[in-house]
A and B are shown apart, each in its own frame.
Chain A
Amino acid sequence: DTEVTQTPKHLVMGMTNKKSLKCEQHMGHRAMYWYKQKAKKPPELMFVYSYEKLSINESVPSRFSPECPNSSLLNLHLHALQPEDSALYLCASSQARLAGVEQYFGPGTRLTVT
């Protein structure tokens, strides 16, 4: 099983809402990633977790709050977002947080902030 799953597929939320994105993998990977992708642009790294600990935060605004409850799950909690936060949010995982290790991507959550 080389699958990374993400829920929901689509999410529409208002600027005052609180919502969460979920990501799951059962490959025994110990590194998990959140990326943000705007239309026609490459993915931009937001956060990296290694062994359930946050190891990289790419200066992401605090209205995005990641959480890694266990080695298979990664959440992204959203609060007080802005319309410019509308994007495709991609989760990825890899065996370890090292160069040359394949990152497997999920299908993404399409987020629209109204």
Chain B
Amino acid sequence: GEDVEQSLFLSVREGDSSVINCTYTDSSSTYLYWYKQEPGAGLQLLTYIFSNMDMKQDQRLTVLLNKKDKHLSLRIADTQTGDSAIYFCAESASSNTGKLIFGQGTTLQVKP
């Protein structure tokens, strides 16, 4: 079945880079997403990558996709305290229903 896994917690110092990792099982997933959720808020789509791409960069965010290993990562450069949040990796379900399969979420703590 479809499954997405992430480590649960990451702590970094302000100004450092953060790397959040994710593995997924469905090799037919066409799109992979990173969402950010701040306390008490909904989910904000940060970026997504199509499965035929290896890398996507958007300002401080870099997404790397290793399709062979089914590994996705999100790198945040120059991490700020405002980046503290839960980050969810998600894949689009192979049934193409619009359904997203989410990982458990990685809590990013940024220390000043």
Binding site for B on A (CB under 8 A): 4, 6, 31, 33, 40-43, 45, 48, 50, 55-56, 90, 92, 94, 96-108, 110
A42 near B103: Cβ-Cβ < 8 Å: yes
Q: How many residues of B contact A (CB 8 A)?
A: 25
B92 at the interface (CB under 8 A from A): yes
Shortest CB-to-CB span from B11 to chain A, Å, is: 16
- When distances are taken between beta carbons in the complex, the residues of chain B under 8 Å from A45 are 99-100
Given contacts A99-B92, A102-B48, A105-B44, contact A42 B102 (CB under 8 A): yes
Contact of B99 among A4, A48, A106, A107 (CB under 8 A): A48
A94 near B98: Cβ-Cβ < 8 Å: yes
- B29, B35, B102: residue with the most chain A Cβ atoms closer than 10 Å: B102
Name which residue of chain B comes closest to A56, CB basis.
B97
Given contacts A42-B88, A42-B104, contact A103 B44 (CB under 8 A): no
Shortest CB-to-CB span from B50 to chain A, Å, is: 7
A90 near B43: Cβ-Cβ < 8 Å: yes
Cβ < 8 Å to A, chain B residues 56-112 = 88, 90, 92-93, 96-100, 102-105
How many angstroms between the C-alpha atoms of A91 and B48 in the bound complex? 20
A-B contact pairs, 27 of them (CB 8 A): A6-B42, A31-B98, A40-B105, A41-B104, A42-B103, A43-B43, A43-B100, A43-B102, A48-B97, A48-B98, A55-B97, A56-B98, A56-B99, A96-B98, A97-B98, A98-B98, A99-B92, A99-B93, A99-B96, A100-B50, A101-B98, A102-B45, A105-B35, A105-B44, A105-B45, A107-B41, A110-B40
- A90, A97, A103: residue with the most chain B Cβ atoms closer than 10 Å: A103
A99 near B30: Cβ-Cβ < 8 Å: yes
Shortest CB-to-CB span from A96 to chain B, Å, is: 8
- When distances are taken between beta carbons in the complex, the residues of chain B under 8 Å from A98 are 96, 98
How many angstroms between the C-alpha atoms of A50 and B99 in the bound complex? 12
- When distances are taken between beta carbons in the complex, the residues of chain A under 8 Å from B103 are 42
B100 near A90: Cβ-Cβ < 8 Å: no
- When distances are taken between beta carbons in the complex, the residues of chain B under 8 Å from A4 are 42
Name which residue of chain A comes closest to B50, CB basis.
A100
